[in-house]
């Protein structure tokens, strides 16, 4: 919901806490980190929205899905204005709720204007409720200014949904006689329209109704007014009296992520040779066995087993409730995963290709990443990201886009190069209550094999591994770059190099990198991503700041070309940095 004072007060939230939220005081709900009514609180079953409006609808889907799986007969209500119904997330959320028959009530508060833009400039359909028909959803139009109609009808619908879970869409016809927010005013509203809706004031009309039925007396009315005024004044006085928040650097940094106490689970001695793709599948399957509340969602992942067959056979073992084919709506599915987390469950979302994450970018970087910092709500979500070039897949199936996320506070980013690491790190990622982007290089899926423990085990995040020991240079890389570096060093045994596989990019093992470079005096950073803005740039800057006095040469970065990724093999080979890495490494050694 967005700025929904009516809902907050009916949940009996103390006015003093709401005033503190307005004023950015500690007794509010976001420790001064978010604006006015941009907050959430599990204490009152209020779910924090984001300013982009649309994503809260998909989050409602996730909470409703959790209720459906738990069979607890609960209903989720989600609110949007008429303006928010133009966002793609609205349509994605309705479609998912319809396909999965989720117990969610979508409430559109149609108040005539999206800030200053009237409805006739926002949509052409006569009623927004009609949009429900296209998704096979029951829809209703209610007089949003009629308190009795609204209460009785919504109560009846909620009771029905509890008995027979399904989505419902309600359009409340109403009007906003104040500004979208106080600063904007209402000069854009015709005076006659304002007068028309003033006559429909729900509070005044309900008061008159109660008087006419002799339910309310003047004395009782005056007492209500006096009591409410006293509560407001007292709440304001208490909020004003509270001291302003004093910035605390430790608190700010420590609240970006939910704390996670890593539990090391040692691997068994029994091993078997697995391909990279098999190790991912096995780690995912054993995590499903370990966490009964874990749900996997993605396109074609159920009976088909996913385009890379990682979830093949999962439906037979875990059922379609936990292994869920999704419509093609990445944004709503990421939002649904957030809703599952709010309801205390875990989620793994498979992007069919990491390129497609752009369609779910907003909820990842603005909702999942920021929720714990804002209102202490973690996002227990892993987004699996099949990525990378070298498989002749062209511009939209080959990107390695980790840098979009390593710079976003609140996200963790994992990028393994070997089956052993992939399985152990995936298990840890699913245990970790924070949002994680888990990159899986497609070219490694079926080309890399390794002895992998058969048991369930974990590996720590933020720990690089040194694959080769040397004195002349430090090679820092990850993903496919690790294999390119190994191939080069195997072909040039005279090169004495530290080879560091980062494994996780956020958090980054700065200590391992810095110690190696201080020892060797030279550093070359290899990434498959294009150069500008990649993680190699940050590592290079870090080394210049931390190791300048130890360096015998400039820090060198090697990356792919500054172009989209081409399809033809000869163009793709030119795009990738493998050959340029050979030249750059040998030149740096001679510096």
Active site residues: 397
Run of H or E residues at 285: helix 276-290
CA 416, CA 477: separation in Å to the nearest integer?
11
What is the separation of C-alpha 500 from the centre of its chain, rounded to a whole number of angstroms? 30
Which residues are CB-neighbours of 195 under 8 A, at least 6 positions away?
none
CA 297, CA 114: separation in Å to the nearest integer?
34
Strands (E), 116-235: 117-118, 138-143, 168-173
CA 189, CA 268: separation in Å to the nearest integer?
71
Query: What does the block give as tokens for 226?
Result: 């006096």
CA 379, CA 429: separation in Å to the nearest integer?
12
Which residues are CB-neighbours of 103 under 8 A, at least 6 positions away?
64, 67, 68, 74, 75, 76, 161, 162, 165, 166, 167
Say which residue the tokens 């924090």 belong to.
Answer: 48
Which residues are CB-neighbours of 98 under 8 A, at least 6 positions away?
135, 136, 137, 167
Q: How many CA atoms within 13 Å lie on the side-chain side of 43?
A: 11
Alpha helices (H) along 24-122: 55-70, 88-100
Cα-only R_g, the chain: 28
- DSSP assignment of 452-521 equals EESS-----TT--EEEE--SSEEEEE-THHHHHHHHHHHH-TT--EEEEE--EEETT-HHHHHHHHHHHS
| Cβ neighbour number for residue 223 with a 10 Å cutoff | 11
User: Can you give the three-state secondary structure of 235-280, one letter per residue?
Assistant: HHHHHHHCCCCCCCHHHHHHCCCCCCCCCCCCCCCCEEEEEHHHHH
Query: What does the block give as tokens for 445?
Result: 């899926």
Report helix, strand or coil for 113: strand
């Amino acid at each position: 919901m967005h700025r929904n004072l009516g809902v907050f007060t009916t949940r009996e939230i103390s006015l003093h806490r709401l005033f503190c939220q307005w004023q950015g005081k500690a007794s509010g709900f976001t420790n001064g980190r978010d604006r006015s009514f941009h907050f959430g609180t599990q204490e009152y079953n209020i779910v924090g929205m984001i300013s982009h409006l649309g994503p809260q609808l998909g989050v409602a889907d996730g909470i409703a899905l959790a209720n459906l799986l738990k069979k607890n007969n609960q209903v989720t209500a989600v609110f949007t204005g008429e303006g928010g119904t133009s966002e793609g997330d609205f349509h994605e959320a309705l479609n998912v709720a319809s396909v999965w028959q989720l117990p969610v009530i979508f409430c559109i508060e149609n108040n005539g204007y999206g800030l200053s833009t009237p409805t006739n400039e926002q949509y052409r359909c006569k009623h927004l409720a009609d949009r429900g028909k296209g998704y096979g959803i029951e829809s209703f139009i209610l007089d949003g200014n009629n308190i009795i109609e609204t209460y009785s009808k919504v109560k009846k619908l909620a009771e029905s949904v509890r008995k027979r879970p399904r989505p419902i869409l309600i359009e409340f016809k109403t009007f906003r006689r104040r500004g979208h927010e106080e600063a904007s005013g209402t000069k854009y509203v015709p005076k006659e329209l304002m007068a028309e809706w003033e006559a429909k004031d729900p509070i005044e009309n309900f008061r008159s109704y109660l008087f006419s039925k002799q339910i309310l007396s003047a004395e009782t009315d005056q007492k209500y007014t006096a009591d409410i005024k006293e509560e407001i004044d007292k709440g304001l006085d208490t909020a004003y009296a509270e001291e302003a928040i004093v910035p605390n650097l430790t608190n700010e940094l420590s609240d970006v992520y939910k704390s996670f106490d890593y539990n090391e689970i040692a691997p068994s001695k029994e091993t078997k040779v697995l391909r990279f793709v098999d190790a991912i599948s096995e780690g995912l399957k054993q995590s499903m066995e370990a966490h009964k509340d874990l749900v996997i969602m993605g396109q074609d992942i159920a009976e088909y087993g996913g385009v890379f067959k990682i979830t093949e056979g999962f439906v037979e073992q875990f059922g379609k409730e936990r292994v869920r084919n999704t419509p093609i709506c990445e944004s709503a599915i990421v939002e649904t995963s957030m809703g599952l987390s709010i309801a205390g469950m875990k989620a793994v979302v498979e992007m069919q290709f990491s390129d497609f994450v752009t369609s779910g970018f907003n909820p990842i970087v603005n909702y999942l990443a920021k929720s714990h910092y804002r209102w202490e709500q973690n996002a227990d979500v892993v987004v699996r990201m099949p990525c990378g070039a070298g498989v002749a897949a062209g511009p939209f199936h080959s990107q390695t886009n980790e840098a979009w996320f390593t710079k976003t506070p609140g996200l963790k980013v994992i990028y393994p190069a070997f089956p052993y690491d992939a399985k152990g790190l995936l298990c840890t990622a699913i245990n970790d209550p924070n949002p994680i982007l888990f990159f899986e290089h497609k070219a490694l899926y079926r080309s890399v094999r390794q002895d992998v423990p058969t048991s369930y085990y974990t590996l720590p995040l933020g720990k690089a591994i040194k694959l080769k020991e040397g004195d002349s240079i430090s090679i820092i890389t990850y993903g496919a770059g690790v294999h390119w570096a190994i191939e080069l060093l195997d072909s040039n045994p005279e090169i004495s190099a530290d080879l560091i596989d980062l494994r996780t990019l956020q958090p980054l093992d700065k200590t391992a990198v810095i110690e190696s470079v201080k020892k060797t005096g030279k550093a070359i950073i290899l990434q498959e991503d294009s150069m500008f803005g990649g993680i190699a740039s940050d590592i290079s800057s870090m080394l210049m700041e931390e190791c300048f006095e130890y360096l015998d040469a400039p820090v060198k970065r090697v990356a792919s070309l500054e172009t989209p990724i081409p399809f033809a093999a000869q163009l793709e080979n030119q795009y990738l940095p493998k050959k340029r890495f050979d030249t750059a490494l040998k030149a740096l050694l001679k510096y």
